[in-house]
Amino acid sequence: MVIEIKKLATSVALTRKSTDLFTRYVGKLLFQKIQKKLKHLTEHEVVIIDFDGIRSVDASFVDECIVPLLELSQTNTFPFYIKLVNITDNVEYIVDQVIGMTHDQKRYIVMTDRLSKNGCHALGFVSEMEKDIIEYYVINKQATCVDIASFLHVSETEAQNCLMRLYEMRAVRKIHNDNVFHAI
């Protein structure tokens, strides 16, 4: 599923001609519009949030639109995954800052279509080991815990634990009940 933020934003009278998304109010409005579209999701679907045509966002918008979307992806009855595409440097910076903070003891990561300034295709608080794993999946598309353990020179248990954390944050996909994880 692809959600074009610019198209949704132009349907909101306050943002009709703007290429910027600011305020909590606009964030809440767009989150509600996105929620309606998510009713047609299938299990394990990747939701592409396309920021083409959006120059900048503020922390309030991210806090009211992107953070609840990430929360929903982690708590929904069936898993789905979020990927941000066509983001500007400003959008990258603000999203990374906001979701990089802990929210009620919960940590968020969101995948992107580009290598971000943090050296990874993910935004948020991402450890060096998690960055290595995410980049491995970007290149190889899928891998097992054994593959990751061998790549990182760690135990299979450590690799499994890290992969499960990434899966719970929806940074990698686990489609079946086997040990194969997939890129977003």
pLDDT (tens digit, 0 to 9) for every residue of the chain, 184 residues total? 999 999 888 877 555 567 889 889 999 999 999 999 999 899 899 999 999 999 999 999 999 999 999 999 999 888 899 999 999 999 999 999 999 986 777 899 999 999 999 999 999 999 999 999 999 999 999 999 999 999 999 999 999 999 999 999 999 999 887 789 999 9
84 close to 112: Cβ distance less than 8 angstroms? yes
Q: Which helix (H) or strand (E) holds 82?
A: strand 81-85
Q: Which CATH number fits domain 127-184: 1.10.520.10, 1.10.260.40, 1.10.10.10, 2.30.30.100?
A: 1.10.10.10
Three-state SS at 23:
coil
Report yes or no on whether pTM surpasses 0.75: yes
Dist. CA 19–CA 93, nearest whole Å: 16
Three-state SS at 75:
helix
160-169 exposure pattern, b = at least 16 Cβ within 10 A, e = fewer? bebbebbbeb
Q: Which two tokens stand for residue 153?
A: 């020179």
CATH fold of 1-126 reads Transcription Regulator spoIIAA (3.30.750)
Three-state SS at 131:
helix
Q: Which two tokens stand for residue 97?
A: 């800052």
Closest CA to 33 of 8, 70, 60: 8
Dist. CA 21–CA 60, nearest whole Å: 9
Closest CA to 183 of 122, 173, 175: 173
71 close to 110: Cβ distance less than 8 angstroms? no
| Residue spans per domain, the chain | 1-126, 127-184
Largest CA distance in the chain: 54
Amino acid (1-letter code) at residue 25: Y
Sequence-ordered strand ranges (E) for 51-162:
56-57, 81-85, 109-112, 122-124, 142-144
